[in-house]
């Protein structure tokens, strides 16, 4: 069913006959019609997928176009062709263009959603994928690995596309160099919108990787230009360059945890990029490893990360490094970068017995480093005599390296036409980024016809639904709620006889707020949990009394539990001004019970009390494979009381020696613990057990008659602060320090 449309209509009549034969447009409505159209496609042809949902469609687009006569696969209406179910796209051949497709509501049955190859031998070259969307097209099993875009071949372009919400393991997009046919490729990746990518809680959450360590001494020559990375939080590497001669130019990184890392490979250039950390924890900049890297004209604003996630990190190498470790920094040029209000610049970072090769023949010049409040922001971890400093200007930096090449000046800033801050005084004109740096705008990236993701829905952002006491009034309100709603409870007793399954954030709040304890609504439940969280679900409990005594006489009950299966959505649980009691109908009754391959973005317990509990209060301990996977990022327990708890108040476990994540983080402060942890099923032998937590603050707590606090440090440079606690009839904390 060939037909002429659009472009041909404007071709003058005389030319029409000749062109029509060369450029057919074929609208296809079924997978079979598509297959036939591809087989008969000639250079210049266009195959158009009819609007609608195409389910379980493994698209093979293998054809041979010509320069200036590509074969195109596109949508009848861009954005109205949705590829769903178990689907993917493989492109192979020469001069092909794909545009306008949306991958949503499904996942790939193979390793890739879009692959620039059909088989290992049959690759795509000189082809382009443009204006394509992959939106939460995740394998439902969180730690089943797949990839969204895999570039092979040479001379390909991926542009104006949007990759949002990848939540399962596996880099979002990668360039592969695994055969000669994919090396020295000259690909272009530009004007794409990447993100948000939620915290994965494991290695394998990179957003863009170019190469692998194995082929890292090979040139890739990929240009990554004018892309927008927003909240790409998967793991410590946002972009991981593992090959040579790549250029990263004019990209914008907004509130993304992690860094652009020149992990392996030489001769890369990082220039004209903008990193807006905006004070968000763990936002980083650029990490430099290997030979002849150029880091020039980059702008970093309120980037907070430390250690390997600093604003600027120059690593130590390993002498005679194996290809997958750390090659020494040599002949790097780091110049004209502007670093404002950022917490950490790390020089000779990672120095230890193994990483002892200090940076050499490196020039660090004309950089502008300024803080509004004075910060001790430049750390020197080893001998930096191989870094030559010149013309750098600083303000508000407590200590600069003991070398020439740093000058202190008071720097006043003004906003340039591109929105970035520039020093007012002409004397600083040659320092920091140039005036003509062009900042790519969010609207210029991704396809214009697909909405960019809104900020995450927060607790309390929806309606308020007032309810009165009784059997299942709360159950029904929870089932009828929408994202961000607040269910407000009058004083009285509420019984929940089913387990509401939440797939959005909800707040359940006593109407009296935190007033008197008597006014608190009393919530009881008859099933094995008060609430279960499914993908997208989060729960906030405020000003409630929760009593577990109606729960079944069976082990393993909980107040809140996650899905029993793998969850892609990171959830939050908050309890504020709550009084929880009698979680003791049988053994192992937890406040929060989680399953393997689920992940808490945050757990907050504030000004609450817990009494008579046979399990743990919070146990994030289901990832026992020691692979660096864990169950939750941030745990805050403050100003709360715990009494007669057989398990631990907190049990957080992250095993293994992986260094790809920032968390978990635990703050445990100003709590009172009485008679905690003595149950015979409490294998932690602790009142608070933390294994592999990266940042720990345990301060100003009172423990009596309780098992000790136990902290086992693992890989990284964990920060453990235990201070101001008081113990009566409780052993002092036991800390097993990390020994690299």
Q: Which residues bind Ca ion (CB under 5 A)?
A: 203, 237, 660
Cα 735 → chain centroid: 30
Cβ proximity to Ca ion: between 401 and 656 the closer is 656
Peptide bond preceding 196: is omega within 30 degrees of 0, i.e. cis?
Answer: yes
How near is the Cβ of 115 to Ca ion at its closest, in Å? 21
How near is the Cβ of 237 to Ca ion at its closest, in Å? 5
How far is the C-alpha of 398 from the C-alpha of 559, rounded, in Å?
49
Cβ proximity to Ca ion: between 126 and 231 the closer is 231
How near is the Cβ of 628 to Ca ion at its closest, in Å? 10
Cβ proximity to Ca ion: between 640 and 661 the closer is 661
How near is the Cβ of 239 to Ca ion at its closest, in Å? 11
How near is the Cβ of 315 to Ca ion at its closest, in Å? 15
How far is the C-alpha of 616 from the C-alpha of 650, rounded, in Å?
7
Cβ proximity to Ca ion: between 562 and 660 the closer is 660
DSSP lists the bridge partners of residue 229 as 194, 253
C-alpha count within 13 angstroms, C-beta hemisphere, residue 108: 24
How near is the Cβ of 672 to Ca ion at its closest, in Å? 40
For residue 620, give every residue at least 6 positions away whose Cβ sits within 8 Å of its Cβ, in sequence order, or none: 594, 600, 603, 630, 631, 632, 635, 651, 652, 653, 664
C-alpha to C-alpha distances, 520 to 25, 465, 513, nearest whole angstrom: 68, 17, 8
For residue 28, give every residue at least 6 positions away whose Cβ sits within 8 Å of its Cβ, in sequence order, or none: 1, 34, 36, 37, 47, 48, 49, 50
| Residue whose CB is nearest to Ca ion in the complex, by number | 660
Two tokens, residue 330: 């040599």
How near is the Cβ of 308 to Ca ion at its closest, in Å? 11
How near is the Cβ of 548 to Ca ion at its closest, in Å? 41
Coil, strand or helix at 20: helix
User: What end-to-end distance do the CA atoms of the chain give, in Å?
Assistant: 67
C-alpha to C-alpha distances, 660 to 210, 263, 442, 499, 627, nearest whole angstrom: 17, 13, 28, 36, 11
Q: What are phi and psi of 475, to 5 degrees?
A: -55, -50
C-alpha count within 13 angstroms, C-beta hemisphere, residue 588: 10
Q: Identify the CA nearest to 648 among candidates 562, 691, 722, 590.
A: 590
Cβ proximity to Ca ion: between 203 and 256 the closer is 203
How near is the Cβ of 660 to Ca ion at its closest, in Å? 4
Q: What count of residues does the chain have?
A: 740
How near is the Cβ of 379 to Ca ion at its closest, in Å? 23
- In terms of C-beta density within 10 A (0-12 exposed, 13-18 middle, 19 or more buried), how is residue 630 classed? buried
Cβ proximity to Ca ion: between 205 and 423 the closer is 205
Cβ proximity to Ca ion: between 149 and 467 the closer is 149
Cβ proximity to Ca ion: between 225 and 658 the closer is 658
How near is the Cβ of 295 to Ca ion at its closest, in Å? 21
**Helices marked H in 362-505 — which ranges?**
473-480
Q: What are phi and psi of 35, to 5 degrees?
A: -55, -45
Two tokens, residue 430: 């040659």
Cβ proximity to Ca ion: between 237 and 675 the closer is 237
C-alpha count within 13 angstroms, C-beta hemisphere, residue 280: 19
Cβ proximity to Ca ion: between 171 and 270 the closer is 171
Cβ proximity to Ca ion: between 196 and 258 the closer is 258
How far is the C-alpha of 132 from the C-alpha of 482, rounded, in Å?
30
């Amino acid at each position: 069913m060939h037909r002429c449309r659009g472009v041909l209509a404007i071709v003058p009549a005389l030319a029409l006959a000749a062109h029509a034969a060369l450029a057919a447009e074929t609208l296809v409505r079924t997978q079979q019609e598509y297959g036939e159209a591809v087989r008969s496609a000639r250079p210049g042809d266009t195959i158009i997928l009819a609007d609608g949902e195409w389910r379980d469609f493994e698209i093979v687009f293998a054809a041979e176009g010509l320069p200036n006569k590509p074969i195109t696969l596109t949508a009848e209406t861009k954005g109205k062709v949705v590829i769903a179910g178990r689907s993917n796209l493989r492109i192979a051949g020469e001069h092909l263009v794909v545009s306008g497709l949306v991958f949503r509501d499904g996942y790939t049955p193979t390793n890739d959603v879009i692959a620039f190859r059909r088989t290992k031998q049959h690759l795509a070259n000189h082809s382009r994928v443009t204006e394509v969307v992959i939106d939460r097209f995740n394998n439902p099993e969180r730690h089943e690995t797949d990839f969204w875009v895999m570039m092979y071949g040479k001379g390909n372009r991926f542009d104006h596309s949007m990759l949002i919400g990848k939540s399962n393991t596996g880099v979002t997009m990668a360039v592969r160099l695994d055969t000669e046919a994919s090396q020295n490729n000259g690909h272009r990746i530009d004007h794409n919108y990447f993100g948000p990518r939620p915290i994965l809680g494991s290695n394998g959450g990179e957003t863009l990787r170019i190469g692998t360590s194995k082929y890292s001494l090979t040139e890739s020559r990929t240009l990554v230009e004018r892309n927008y990375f927003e909240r790409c939080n998967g793991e410590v590497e946002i972009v991981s360059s593992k090959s040579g001669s790549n250029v990263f130019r004019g990209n914008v990184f907004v509130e993304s945890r992690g860094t652009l890392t020149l992990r392996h490979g030489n001769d890369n250039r990082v220039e004209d990029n903008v990193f807006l950390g905006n004070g968000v924890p763990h936002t980083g900049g650029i990490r430099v490893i290997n030979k002849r890297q150029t880091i020039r004209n980059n702008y970093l604003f309120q980037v907070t990360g430390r250690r390997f996630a600093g604003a600027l990190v120059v690593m130590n190498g390993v002498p005679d490094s194996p290809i997958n470790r750390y090659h020494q920094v040599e002949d790097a040029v780091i110049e004209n970068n502007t670093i404002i209000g950022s917490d950490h610049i790390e020089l000779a970072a990672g120095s230890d017995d193994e990483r002892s090769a200090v940076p050499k023949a490196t020039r660090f010049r004309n950089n502008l480093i300024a803080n509004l409040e004075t910060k001790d922001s430049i750390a020197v971890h080893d001998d930096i005599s191989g870094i030559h400093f010149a013309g750098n200007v600083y303000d508000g930096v407590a200590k600069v390296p003991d070398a020439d090449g740093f000058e202190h000046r008071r720097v006043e800033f003004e906003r340039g036409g591109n929105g970035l801050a520039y020093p007012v005084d002409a004397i600083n004109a040659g320092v920091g980024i140039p005036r003509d740096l062009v900042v790519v705008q969010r609207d210029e990236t991704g396809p214009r016809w697909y909405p960019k993701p809104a900020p995450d829905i927060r607790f309390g952002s929806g309606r308020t639904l007032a309810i009165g006491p009784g059997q299942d009034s709360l159950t029904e309100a929870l089932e009828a709620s929408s994202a961000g709603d607040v269910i407000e409870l009058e004083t009285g007793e509420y019984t929940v006889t089913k387990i509401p399954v939440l797939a959005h954030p909800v707040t359940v709040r006593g109407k009296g707020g935190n007033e008197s304890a008597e006014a608190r609504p009393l919530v009881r439940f008859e099933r094995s949990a008060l609430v279960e969280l499914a993908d997208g679900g989060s729960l906030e409990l405020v000003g409630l009394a929760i009593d577990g005594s109606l729960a079944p006489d069976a082990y393993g009950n909980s107040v809140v539990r996650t899905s029993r299966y793998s969850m892609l959505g990171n959830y939050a649980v908050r309890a504020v001004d709550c009084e929880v009691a009698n979680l003791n109908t049988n053994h192992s009754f937890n406040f929060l019970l989680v399953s393997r391959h689920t992940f808490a973005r945050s757990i907050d317990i504030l000004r609450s009390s817990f009494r008579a509990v046979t399990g743990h209060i919070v146990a994030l301990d289901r990832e026992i494979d020691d692979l660096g996977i864990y169950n939750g990022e941030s745990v805050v327990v403050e100003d709360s009381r715990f009494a007669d708890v057989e398990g631990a108040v907190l049990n957080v476990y992250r095993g293994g020696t992986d260094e790809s994540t920032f968390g978990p983080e635990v703050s445990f402060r100003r709590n009172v613990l009485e008679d905690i942890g003595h149950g015979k099923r409490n294998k932690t032998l602790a009142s608070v057990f933390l294994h592999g937590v990266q940042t720990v603050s345990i301060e100003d707590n009172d423990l009596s008659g309780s098992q000790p606090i136990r902290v086992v440090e693992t890989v990284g440079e964990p920060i453990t602060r235990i201070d101001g606690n008081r113990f009566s009839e409780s052993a002092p904390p036991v800390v097993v320090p990390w020994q690299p």
